[in-house]
Amino acid sequence: MHDKRLALKLLDLRDEAQFNRFHLRDAERFEVATWQAVAMPQRSVKVVIGDDEGAVLNAYRELMAHHVENVDVLARGMPAWFELFGGPRAPAVSLALGANHPESRPPELAPTAVAGYIAKVERPGLGGKKVGGGCGG
């Protein structure tokens, strides 16, 4: 989230009430049925977020079936985010803070200080085999 060189698209599958209560900064509500109306820049990294693992995997499969590139899933969804970084866990909390909640974008150094955090997303176009050109290439 803090790497300015990374074009990140956060796709939140949760219902409107959950989304309004808390969502990651820059996330947008996403519905699989209308996903084609959402701009999906090819080189951006798309992260599908939700609470229901089945719905998240269905959305991932739908995007992959339509050849949308650089799609990832937030492993274990929002419950895992709350475990790592905090957030409004208690259902009794009725405030709809959305992205104004302080934990919607944790400080840049937070992941290194959080036990269990493993970075898995790589920027598109980095690493891998170079395509043609040059001596011996």
pLDDT in tens, 95-118: 666 666 666 666 665 555 555 555
pLDDT in tens, 46-98: 999 998 888 999 999 988 888 888 899 988 888 887 777 766 654 445 566 66
Residue 51 sits in a domain whose CATH number is 3.40.250.10
User: Which pLDDT does position 128 carry in this prediction?
Assistant: 45
The full DSSP string for 8-52 is EEEEE-S-HHHHHH---TTEEE--GGGGGGS---TTSEEEEE-S-
Query: Is residue 66, in this structure, part of any structural domain at all?
Result: yes
In this model, does residue 37 exceed pLDDT 80?
A: no
Query: Is residue 128, in this structure, part of any structural domain at all?
Result: no
Range(s) of the domain holding residue 51:
8-113
